[in-house]
Amino acid sequence: MAVDTLNPRSWLYPTPRGLYCKPGDFYVDPAVAVPRAVITHGHGDHARPGHHSALATPETLAIMRARFEDMPDTDQQPLKYGESVRVGEVDVRFAPAGHILGSAQAVLAYKGQRIVVSGDFKRRPDATCPPFEPVPCDVFITEATFGLPVFRHGDPAAEIARLVGSTTLFPERAHLVGAYALGKAQRLLALLRQAGYDRPIYLHGAWGTFEALLDDAIAASVPVIDAAGAVLDASDRDVAAARAALARVLPPGTIDPDGLDVDVDAPFRVALQPAA
């Protein structure tokens, strides 16, 4: 079939299980467990447990191992950014998506046609992952939860300056920041350190799920923690101190709707500047 008559929908199309690539016999970010999955990144609405085989960046596979108990049962196929692998009749490679550690756009090539499935992506700088890379393609498939004009996000540096300024203005007050444990929390930590905030930052226990990643994947690929602070186990005294801390990073669900109380019994971890 000539390229100009190849209908992209004939080889990549939505199904109830997810986006299916017929000549490769795989799904991209499937909604349920499938025989063969290509995963764009580790967030729960894209990476799910139970696949027979999963093709993803090494960082995304590390995140999935941290999240899913059954990952040893999955045939894990790491593919670094820029490398290519043939799956069925389709060439698959990953390009950085700039969203979280390991996040990738799936670049699929078949019979001279190229489709990019972006997954979640972000074009603003993020110290915790490589920047978004535009990839020329015939078809671009994306999702844009916050792409509507109604969503307007402030400049990250200005927002961080507001937060740090407030801790100076109100040193006796605890400052609570809601941030997802995977991705946003690490980015926030990096932004605070980049802004010169060198005080301890108390992290909610949900961070612990990704503790191994902090030690391994993150430290290896983007040294956020090595460069900005060491993560230490919090003692009882640290937990007591966290109640009066100047800045705390918490998953949104742990903050009381009134915004005045938090689950103080949850374990905290403390990010400190490394010893010189």
82-113 in b/e burial notation, b at 16+ Cβ within 10 A?
Answer: eeeeebeebebbbbbbbbbbbbbbbbbbbeeb
**C-beta closer to Zn ion: residue 120 or 126:** 120
The least CB distance from residue 187 to Zn ion, in Å, is 12
The least CB distance from residue 44 to Zn ion, in Å, is 9
Rounded Cα–Cα distance for residues 182 and 272 (Å): 19
- Which sign, positive or negative, has the C-alpha torsion 189, 69, 122, 106? positive
The least CB distance from residue 120 to Zn ion, in Å, is 4
Is 238 near Zn ion (CB under 5 A)?
no
**C-beta closer to Zn ion: residue 41 or 193:** 41
Q: How far is CA 66 from CA 44, 142, 174, 248, 276, in A?
A: 12, 26, 30, 23, 30
The least CB distance from residue 116 to Zn ion, in Å, is 16
Rounded Cα–Cα distance for residues 131 and 186 (Å): 15
**C-beta closer to Zn ion: residue 90 or 222:** 222
Pattern 86-125, Zn ion, x by CB under 5 A:
----------------------------------x-----
Rounded Cα–Cα distance for residues 240 and 61 (Å): 35
How far the first Cα of the chain sits from its last, in Å, is 63
Binding residue (CB under 5 A) for Zn ion from 43, 48, 51, 193 = 43
Is 248 near Zn ion (CB under 5 A)?
no
**C-beta closer to Zn ion: residue 45 or 75:** 45
| Contact indicator for 191, 157 with CB cutoff of 8 Å | yes
The least CB distance from residue 239 to Zn ion, in Å, is 30
**C-beta closer to Zn ion: residue 43 or 93:** 43
Q: Which residues bind Zn ion (CB under 5 A)?
A: 43, 120
